[in-house]
A and B are shown apart, each in its own frame.
Chain A
Amino acid sequence: MEENHGSTKLYVMGFVLSLILTVIPLWLVVQHVFAKGMLTIVITAIAVGQLLIQLFCFMHIKDGEKPRYHAIALVLGAVIVFTIVAGSIWIMTFNSQVH
């Protein structure tokens, strides 16, 4: 029943990388490094990067298993995230009666 629960090295690496990718956007905001548009893009990019790191370092995304629950869950998650982000943008920009 020995299963692969990842190595300490992988966890520490994931933790440190996550910390770095959290501190950078905070610093960008506090120091007013970029204008608003650029800032949004950079923070979003860093957030996606952190998401990937967590998937690989903490969530055992590479550990295969017979029923492809990982794949199903990831596809469903992607659909939902797309709905949240794209849906919100769509809904909020069409705010036509107010403006």
Chain B
Amino acid sequence: MLPQVLASGLSAGSIYALMALALVITYKTTEVPNFAQGDMAMVSAFIAYMFLTDFETGFIFAFGAALVFAFLLGVGFEVLLLRRMRKPTHLNLIIMTLGFTLALFGFAGWKWGADQRQFPFPVSANEVIRFGSVSISTLSVATILIAGILMLLVFAFFRFTKLGVAMQATQQDPIAARINGVPARAVVGLTFGISSVIGTVAALLTAPLITLDPTLMWDALLKGFAAAVLGGLNTPVGAVLGGYLLGVIENLFGAYISVEFKSVVAFLIIVIVLWFRPSGLFGRHHERKV
């Protein structure tokens, strides 16, 4: 039974890890969690759905369009809404992300309604492959692989490209980045674009599993947040590990303790981490220069 639980945990954890990574990338820039991230991804998933069903395009085109839309939505959110705030406090920024999420949620309800729609996808949640004693759906396999590859690409980008390193520098100290010639404002916009794309990949992998409606990413956002707190809001790698860990812990809890209380685990973890290790399992406490 254990390998089966681990496989399910890894699959759920992949989604949490993506959401946690998306959250941490912008958190490191603004120092507030972007609560609109889930609904930005939800609306982008609806864009893919619209192309697939209304315009009957292929998967590649529809998903590509959704990712392009997600990128523009992320950049637009930062450039048109966040950046225009005058000397925002953290609370102001949080309220802006909450306001934006409510606007997106309202828009999705008005445009597409609250119906739960079947989301067409190349692989299925019901088609099962067996690896020895473990049965796993083709959708889960795709989720684990796609999420894993995407996160490796993101880490490689941050670590090895000039722009990626400049982005990390901007996250730590935007003024110092600017005086080194980094166009910090454009880089911050780009950060939100990349974060939105990562969140949207999570949404596109979640929609075929649980059907598409405006509440698509609520659970994933909260779990991604819990995962980021668990691993460390300041460390992208830690947040991703937190995501996998949360997926596995949750499924272990469901299998051996109680299925009914499975979704409570994430919040118990937040409470326990904040009590004993507020910077997360893999985070370092560091002071930030003002």
Q: Do A and B bind each other?
A: no
**Which chain B residues have a beta carbon within 8 Å of chain A's beta carbons?**
none
